[in-house]
Homo-oligomer: A and B are copies of this chain.
Amino acid sequence: MAVATGDLLAAARAGDKRAIARVLSIIENDAPGAADILRETYPQAGRALVLGITGPPGGGKSTLVSRLVAAYRERAPRVAVVAVDPSSPFSGGAILGDRIRMQDRFLDEGVFIRSMASRGNMGGLARATARVVGVLDALGTDVVVVETVGVGQEEVEVVRVVDTVALVTVPGLGDDIQAIKAGVLEIADVLVVNKADRPGADETARDLAQMLTLGQPRTSWKPPIVRTVAAKGDGIDELIRAVDRHREWARESGERERRRADAARVEVEALLREALVRRLEQRVGSERVRAAVARVAARAVDPYAAVEELLEGA
């Protein structure tokens, strides 16, 4: 490993926020030193509590995350927030503004905040998030909160990197709750009804409980439903206890190892595909790959035939 990378990692391990930010930028941009950093940090990760917070917009997730971070900081010296915004593929997104305000609030040296948008991670936001979380973990962070906006496929992929997923809903989402419900039983480990002082909280909690009884349980874990009023700080301790219980169950039941094996498989397969394509391009020449794409675009040849031709030359 280059000396520069070693010094940077040492500073980051000591908790220097600018050093941590630089390490993460190298990883995110796959800049020189990225492979060294991943090699160095990979064996050291796996100790942090990694919690995912997801749910549709308007659920008060940012406020909830702020409260959680404050509460976790009372328990542990180093807490990080990774705010992932798949809805902002190009521009960095609205979440960034929230984060900057949040960073201002936490002048606390023990809190590190990182925003990630899809920019530069096209098609690979989940992988990039997994790496960032893994590096934060390896650098000695005690708790990593991964916050995502929305309940789409991309969010499901992103939360796959965490140990415990909390899905945040609010009373009165109306029909839109259907979209959440569809996948909720499979991805949520803890269900949160935030803004639970609003009318309809009982109904929302009941709806969620009913959905839970309808689904096919994937494991022996029954996701608890926790009511919070993040704006007032209500229910935060209960949420933390629910997360702890899930974490304990996941460790004992082998679920934690299953999720980590799944994440490892995704990462190895992705790296393998990239390496194989690079090798093919070196062998047949990237010019031939480009020419094949152009012929497919013109519908002069179908994609299967084009790929077969390329493979014959490799």
Q: A residues within 8 Å of B by Cβ?
A: 35, 38-39, 42-43, 45-46, 56-58, 85-94, 118, 123, 125, 149-157, 175-176, 178-183, 186-187, 257, 260-261, 263-265, 267-269, 271-273, 275-277, 279-280, 289, 292-294, 296-297, 299-300, 302-308, 310-311
In the complex formed, the residue of B with least CB distance to A273 is B273
How many Å lie between the Cα of A265 and that of B187 in the bound state? 32
Task: Count identical subunits in the complex.
Answer: 2
Smallest CB separation, A41 vs chain B (Å)? 8
Smallest CB separation, A271 vs chain B (Å)? 5
In the complex formed, the residue of B with least CB distance to A305 is B39
A280 near B271 with CB under 8 A, answer no
Sorted nearest first, the 3 A-B pairs with minimum C-beta distance are: A42-B302, A264-B297, A94-B178
A39 near B152 with CB under 8 A, answer no
How many Å lie between the Cα of A113 and that of B93 in the bound state? 34
How many Å lie between the Cα of A179 and that of B152 in the bound state? 14
Can you list 17 contacts pairing A with B, beta carbon distance less than 8 Å?
Answer: A38-B303, A39-B304, A56-B57, A86-B152, A86-B154, A91-B182, A93-B179, A125-B153, A149-B179, A150-B150, A257-B297, A261-B297, A264-B303, A268-B293, A268-B307, A272-B277, A276-B280
Smallest CB separation, A277 vs chain B (Å)? 6
